[in-house]
Chain A
Amino acid sequence: NAGVMQNPRHLVRRRGQEARLRCSPMKGHSHVYWYRQLPEEGLKFMVYLQKENIIDESGMPKERFSAEFPKEGPSILRIQQVVRGDSAAYFCASSPQELNTGELFFGEGSRLTVL
């Protein structure tokens, strides 16, 4: 049973380029969450999606960041015109249902470095 799969694991971009991070949730999971983690810090909620719907994007910067979870294929977190402050680890997590009953299953993260 494959867990949450994230790719790429490491991504290097120059300022102004675009970064695309992909996340395939666990089989049977229809809820996807994206979190950002800076070094030595906790995880900061960015966005919560269900298939084809953004439920809560309150933690995502209004500019340059977007997320989607299409009917087919992985969830994508897209960062346009990256800046050095975007350097962080981005974690995707999934759950089979709303969280009042259970846990999140995390991927290994995508580490973005902006030069």
Chain B
Amino acid sequence: SQQGEEDPQALSIQEGENATMNCSYKTSINNLQWYRQNSGRGLVHLILIRSNEREKHSGRLRVTLDTSKKSSSLLITASRAADTASYFCATDWDSSYKLIFGSGTRLLVRP
């Protein structure tokens, strides 16, 4: 069964707007990661947040983690057309060496 589930499955916004994606998981984790995938390409790591952290920033990205609710959110501020991609959360719930990916959010940023 899926460990991480992203919400929404698809998101369409105008350039300049903010995009928020959510991820829920089922069991305790050591860390949670977000990845981006452009169409037809491999995944690129965006940010990692550890279970003892609540918020992390990287450029226009802000990630929060709520371990009590077993959820995380990824906020992309001032979106650009180039942010159009699929975004996946991944957790290491099963072990320290295996990442389990969610089903992803497909983001479309309209110019």
User: 1/0 contact trace for A83-115 toward B, CB 8 Å?
Assistant: 000000001010000111011111111000000
B92 proximal to A (CB < 8 A)? yes
Complex CA distance for A93 and B88, rounded to whole angstroms: 15
Residues in A whose Cβ lies below 8 Å from that of B44: 106
Interface residues on A, range: 20 to 34
For the complex, give the distance between the alpha carbons of A26 and B110 in Å. 35
Q: Which of B42, B43, B96 contacts A99 (CB 8 A)?
A: B96
Interface stretch among B13-21, B60-68, B98-106?
Answer: B98-106
CB within 8 A of B104: which of A42, A44, A91, A108? Answer: A42
* Beta-carbon contact of A55 and B97 below 8 Å: yes
Distance of A56 Cα from B98 Cα, bound (Å): 9
Q: Which residue of chain A is the closest to B106 with respect to CB atoms?
A: A40
B33 within 8 A of A: yes
Is A31 interfacial (CB-CB < 8 Å)?
yes
B45 touches A104 (CB 8 A): yes
CB distance from A31 to the nearest CB of B (A): 7
Q: Report if A99-B92 is in contact (Cβ < 8 Å); known contacts: A42-B103, A45-B99.
A: yes
What chain A residues lie within 8 Å of B95 (beta carbons)?
A: 56
B71 at the A/B interface (Cβ < 8 Å)? Answer: no
- The answer to the question of A54 belonging to the interface, with a C-beta cut-off of 8 Å to chain B, is no
Residue pair B43, A91 in contact (C-beta under 8 Å): yes
B33 and chain A: residue at smallest CB distance = A103
- Closest A residue to B102 by beta carbon equals A42
A-B contacts besides A43-B88, A45-B101, A100-B30, 19 pairs, CB < 8 Å: A42-B4, A42-B101, A45-B98, A91-B42, A91-B43, A99-B96, A99-B98, A100-B31, A100-B96, A103-B48, A104-B33, A104-B90, A105-B45, A106-B42, A106-B44, A107-B42, A108-B41, A108-B42, A109-B42
